[in-house]
Amino acid sequence: YVYHGDSGKAVNCYYCPHCTTHIYHHQEVMGPDTIVVRTGLIKEGREKFEVGAEIFGKAKMDLEPKIAETFETLSPS
């Protein structure tokens, strides 16, 4: 589905077709080549991904380790 984020631009959400877990999304404000993956869902293999930043850290669960520079909301443009 699509909703409008804090920037006012569209956020396109993508889900697993089997369990409907929200896997990733694309925010128009971040440009055409960037997707946001919910890394909290990845149990094994995190080290294989290059994490650029964590956004919306204000909503992060305390048990999740810090894995990149964290922004409380969107990263600065």
In a domain, 68, yes or no: no
Number of other residues whose CB lies within 10 A of the CB of residue 20: 8
* 32 Cβ contact list (under 8 Å, min separation 6): none
Distance linking the first and last C-alpha atoms of the chain: 25
In a domain, 66, yes or no: no
In a domain, 75, yes or no: no
Provide the residue range defining the domain that includes 8: 2-47
In a domain, 57, yes or no: no
In a domain, 7, yes or no: yes
In a domain, 22, yes or no: yes
* 74 Cβ contact list (under 8 Å, min separation 6): 5, 6, 7, 27, 29, 55, 56
Longest CA–CA span in the chain (Å) reads 35
In a domain, 24, yes or no: yes
Please tell me whether the overall predicted TM-score, pTM, comes out greater than 0.75 for this model: no
Q: How many domains does the chain have?
A: 1
Residue 76 confidence (pLDDT)? 59
| Band of residue 22 on the pLDDT scale cut at 50, 70, 90 | confident
With contact defined as beta carbons under 8 Å apart, do 61 and 45 qualify? no
